[in-house]
Amino acid sequence: MKTERRKRFSIQLMLTIGILVAVSVLLISGVLYIYFGKRLDQEFRNQIAARKGQAELILSRRFVQIKRQLQDLSTDNAIRVTLLLDAPAQLQDRLARFYAPVNGLSFYVRKAAAPLVSPTHSEQFVDALLNTPPGELPAPEGETSPLVWWFEIPITSNEARLGTAYVRYDLSGDQELIGRLQQLVLGDILVRTPQGLSSLIGDGAFELDDKVLARASGTAALPLGSGDRRILKLDGYADLYFLFSSEDLVREKLRISLFIGLFTLAVLTFSAGLAIFLGQQMATPLRKMAQKAIYISRGEKNLAFETRPGDYWEIAELSKAFDSMLRNLKAAEEKSRYKELLENVDDAVYLVDIRGRILDANEASYSRLGYSQAEFLALPLPALMAPADAEQVLEALDAAGGRQGRRTVETWHLKADGSPLPVEIKVRPIDYRGERVLLSVARDVSERKEAELALRESEERFRSVVENSHEGFLIIDDTFRVVYANPEFCQVVGYPAQDLKGGDVAKLLTEENLRLVKENFLGSLRGDRVPTHYELDVQRRDGEIRRVTVSATIIKDLTGRQQVVAQVLD
C-alpha cells in the first residue's frame, strides 16, 4: 500500500522563514539605500547652493560698496570746487589723498567738455577711457586683466554737470575680497579667460570647450574633467563660476553602503538562527493547544484558538473546533449569568445597544408596562421614552470608560395603553457578548412623584394661609437665622422681608430675650419640657421696643434640619 509522503513541518518552517526574512531584509536594505542616497544628494545640493549663494552675496556686497564709494566721490565738495576752478593739480592731490588705488579699485575724474583725466595717464589710456564703451575698458598703460568692471556717475552742482567720475574695478587685484572668499566659501571661484578657466583663489587653470561651458547654469552642476570636481555658474556674473568637489558626498555614500551592508548581514544571520530555532520548535502549536484545553477544563474562558493562512490542516481544524466550542460555552454562561441577574431584581432591567435596540429585558420591564416580551424587545428606545431622553441615555456609550460613562436620567416609560409611567433610569456601559452595550435599571418613581406633588401643594396652601394671616409668622433655622417672615411680622418689626431673610434674629431681640429663645430651642432638642408660649420684647427698625406674645413649634425641613416656627401676636 502506497503511503502519502507529508512535508516535514520543521524543514518547511525553516525554509519559509528564511526566504521571507531574506527577501524582506534585502528589500528594506535597498529601500534604505535609495532613501538615504537621495537624502544625502539633497543635503549636499543644499549645502553647495548655500556656499554658492554666500559667494554671490559677498560679490554683490562688494559691488554695492564700490558704487557707494563712487557716489561719495561724485558728491565730494572738494572735487566740485577743483572742477569749477579748473585746478588739475589740486584735483590730482585730492584723488591721491582720499581715493588712492586699493584692492583693485582705480578712480578717475574728467571735467566736462575737456580731455582732462586725473590722475594723468598715457594718451592711449585717456583715449580708451573717452572712446571705449563700458565693459571694454583696458587696464592703465595698456595692461590686460581677465576680469574688469568700470562704472561712471556725473558730478553736478546745482543741476549743472561739472564732469564725470569713473571707477575701474579689477576683481583679480582685490586681495581683501579674495581673502574673504577663501575664508568663508568652501570652494573656489573660476574666471573665464580666452585660455579656459583660471582660479581666482588658488593657482589652478582648466581647459574647457566654450560649447561645453555654455551648458553651465546656476542650478545644474557641470563636471570639470574626469574627477569629482563640478562647477556652477554664479548668477549675475557672465564669466564667474563656483568650483566644488563631490568627494565628501561619495565618501558619505560609501559609509552608508557599508553600514547597510553590515546591517543586512547581521539580520540575515539572525534570521537564519531564528529559522533553525523555530524548526526545532515545530511541536509548539500542539503543546499550546493542549495547554489551553487544560485551562478550559479548569474554568478559564478568556482564551482564543487562532488560525492563520498556511497552517497545517490538522492544527487549523483543531484550532477551529476548540475556538468554536469555547465561544459557545462563553455565550451560554454569559447569557445564563445575565438572565439570572435580570430576573432576580424588582426594578426594570434591560440591555440596549448603540443603535437603541433592546437586546434583553427582565419580566419587570415589560409586565408593568402591559407589553409581552416580544413586543417589548421589538420597541426602539425612542418609542419607549421621550426621544431627547433616549438620546441622553445612548450618549453614555460615547463617554469615556469607568464611572464617567454612568449617568442617571429621570424620564417616563410609555405603557401599552399610551399612559406614561415616571421612572428614574441608571445606565452604565458593559460588555455583553463581545459588544459594548448599556445596562439600564429603571425604577418606578410614581409614588415619589405623587408625594412631591402633595408636598408642593401643601407648601403652597401653607404659604397662602400665612401670607394672608393677620398674625405674624417667623421661621428661623438652627443657627438662629431668619428663613421666612410673613408680611404681618415685617410690619410689626418695621423691616422689609428681604432685609430679614438670611439675617441674624439677634437684631430683633434684646440680649435677655435672645438668651431665652436659645435656651428654649436647645432644651427642645434635648427633649426637655420648655414653654411653648411666652412674651418677648422685640426691637423695631426705628428703635421702638414692642411687647409681643410668641407661640413656638419645632419642625424639620426636607433635609432633616431643625427649624422654629413662631406665631407672633403684637
The amino acid occupying position 493 is V
241-296, pLDDT tens digit by residue?
A: 888 887 878 888 888 888 888 888 888 888 777 767 766 656 566 666 666 666 66
pLDDT band at 68; cut points 50, 70, 90: very high
Q: So what's the pLDDT on residue 142?
A: 45
Is the pLDDT confidence value at 137 over 50?
Answer: no
The residue ranges of DSSP E strands in 415-471, in sequence order, are 420-432, 435-444
Three-state SS at 536: strand
Question: What are the cell numbers at 402?
Answer: 469607568
* Contact status, residue 322 vs residue 289, Cβ threshold 8 Å: yes
Distance in angstroms (rounded) separating the CA atoms of residues 285 and 42: 50
Q: So what's the pLDDT on residue 318?
A: 65
Average pLDDT over residues 212-239: 76
417-463, pLDDT tens digit by residue?
A: 888 888 888 888 888 777 888 888 888 887 777 777 776 776 677 77
541-568, pLDDT tens digit by residue?
A: 888 888 888 888 887 776 777 888 888 8
Q: So what's the pLDDT on residue 330?
A: 65
Residue 202 is given by DSSP the state: S
119 cis-preceded (ω within 30 degrees of 0): yes
Q: So what's the pLDDT on residue 164?
A: 87
Q: What is the pTM of this model?
A: 0.43
Q: Where is pLDDT greater, at 243 or 339? A: 243
Lowest mean pLDDT among 16-25, 32-41, 283-292: 283-292
Q: So what's the pLDDT on residue 402?
A: 41
For residues 152-170, one letter each, b for 16 or more C-beta atoms within 10 angstroms of the residue's C-beta and e for the rest, the string is beebeeeeeebbbbbbbbb
Residue 509 is given by DSSP the state: B
CB count within 10 Å of CB 221 equals 19
* DSSP structure string for 331-367: HHHHHHHHHHHHHT-SSEEEEE-TTSBEEEE-HHHHH
Distance in angstroms (rounded) separating the CA atoms of residues 532 and 547: 17
Q: So what's the pLDDT on residue 451?
A: 72
Three-state SS at 50: helix
**Top-confidence range, 190-194, 355-359, 404-408:** 355-359
Q: Which helix (H) or strand (E) holds 117?
A: strand 117-118
Q: So what's the pLDDT on residue 244?
A: 82
Pairing of strands 533-539, 117-118: unpaired
> pLDDT above 70 covers what percent of the chain?
75
Is the pLDDT confidence value at 349 over 80?
Answer: yes
- Closest by CA to 549, choosing from 469, 480, 496, 472, is 472
Average pLDDT over residues 116-141: 56
